[in-house]
Chains A and B, each alone.
Chain A
């Protein structure tokens, strides 16, 4: 695998100078942002009305040669302010692409891997009619939902393209990236021995994944999968014993399926994601399942209305200094909305969503007294403006 990466990298490096002789393309700067206003009313009686700069993405793109393009994507979420301590700002993508032809493209560098239909466009808000995206794709909820467990977040090398087959096209994409065991400055289990450069994979494992799809002008059907090793159970060995390597390298795989259909003015789309830990080192459930569906209708060329429903069945595992526990949670989100395209660059959106959380009975080691919570809901009314610049 490393030999393949080295060969591809060498191909790109050697080919670049040969093609870069014909003058330099301009550096292009563009992007988009989405500002929102939301009213939230929860079953706990909490009411929130708030404006927010939900998302801003800034792109830098430069054609390095006829078939080589460099692309950088900075992302700002929830009105990032370092001085006030809110939101986040990060480097989402920094890659160079070599396009051999439509059947083969190579992408080398940090990028968002293709998984199901939405993963690589989940943060491209102007492409989506939603303000609150299907919940595992909602980046502004990353602060309190473990969305990275559902979908792969970072790829480092991808092969992708499509093959025409009559009136259909066969899309493929395969990627390699880091496992999710990225060292942070604030690792609760770090010791002097384990401290080191942040932002690097701390294991010898890599993440592998890909998607296959059949696409026509009116429908797309795809299947996706990833395989990786995660250290998310590290710390639980103090309570359950066993080999530490089993905790550092627990296998996680995801399977996904996606469907999109366009018929006249109607559109329908659906996705399914399974996340499984087949040899988890702790006797705690940790599986995740997510499904969503959207039915849309183009009232006019500019106005799109939709109804959506999604469901998560997940068991979150928490490792704390005094014990480990897992809690089954069901999250149901239903609602609808509209998107109005004012110009090619400005889209107004409105959405209502009813989100309900049900906590089941916790399984624990060393911790007791978990309340069982059901019928815990929040209503969201949101309006937003998405602007491409």
Chain B
């Protein structure tokens, strides 16, 4: 009886705690190529880059966007806090542009290492990774909230 109860309770505990673990705050940062001549980016401008409404930096340099292919906490946090839209909504915007002949979706990469690698070697590139994955060779951009004028953080400061 006792063991039977355990078989029921343990999976339930795992089920209840799993979402908590999945929602653990992740500190995500937006990175760019070191030659990009800005230190911060407005949230609206970041949104426009990702939805391909904006294709160039203010100095005329093309902005190449790198996304992450798989859904993971870093991607979830980036879309939720920095773009304010779910990945599916942003994908719909990309699909519309593609089918209208107006542009292609950003390239989706498999890992944070690949994002860092590509941003490091692509002038004007933008990507996002967890803060603790940042390495020398990329520049971290502060994202400024369009409505608040304050820097946005996806998790508590470290």
Contacts and interface: CB of A to CB of B under 8 A. Distances in A.
Nearest to B62: A66
Interface in B41-80: 44, 47-48, 53-56
B121 interface: no
Given A162-B53, A217-B47, A127 B92 contact: yes
Interface stretch (B15-23, B83-91, B135-143): B83-91
Contacts, number: 47
Contacts of B84: 217
A121 interface: yes
A59 interface: yes
Nearest to B104: A28
B90 to A, nearest CB: 10
A127 B88 contact: no
A164 B44 CA distance: 10
A120 B100 CA distance: 8
B88 A126 contact: no
Contacts of B146: 167
Nearest to A120: B100
Contacts of A162: 53
Given A102-B53, A162-B53, A124 B99 contact: yes
Nearest to A71: B101
Interface in A116-139: 120-121, 124, 126-127
Contacts of A167: 44, 146-147
B112 interface: no
B99 A126 contact: yes
Contact of B100 (A121, A164, A169): A121
Contacts of B92: 127
Given A121-B96, A167-B44, A102 B55 contact: yes
B123 interface: no
Interface in A339-360: 341, 344
B85 A126 contact: no
A217 B85 contact: yes
Given A102-B54, A302-B88, A69 B47 contact: no
Contact of B88 (A30, A71, A301, A388): A301
B99 A301 contact: no
B95 interface: yes
A76 to B, nearest CB: 16
A140 interface: no
B95 A127 contact: yes
Given A97-B101, A301-B87, A169 B53 contact: yes
Nearest to B55: A102
A126 B55 contact: no
A373 to B, nearest CB: 39
A35 interface: no
Contact of B91 (A101, A121, A344): A344
A124 B91 CA distance: 15
Q: Which of A101, A127, A169 has most B Cβ within 10 Å?
A: A127
A32 interface: yes
Interface string B117-157: 00000000000000000000000000000110000000000
5 contacts: A30-B98, A69-B101, A71-B101, A102-B55, A167-B44
Interface of B: 44, 47-48, 53-56, 84-89, 91-92, 95-96, 98-101, 146-147
A-B CB proximity, top 8 nearest: A71-B101, A301-B88, A124-B99, A127-B96, A301-B86, A61-B101, A167-B146, A167-B44
Given A262-B89, A301-B87, A344-B91, 11 more contacts: A30-B98, A59-B101, A69-B101, A97-B101, A124-B99, A127-B95, A127-B96, A217-B47, A217-B84, A302-B88, A341-B88
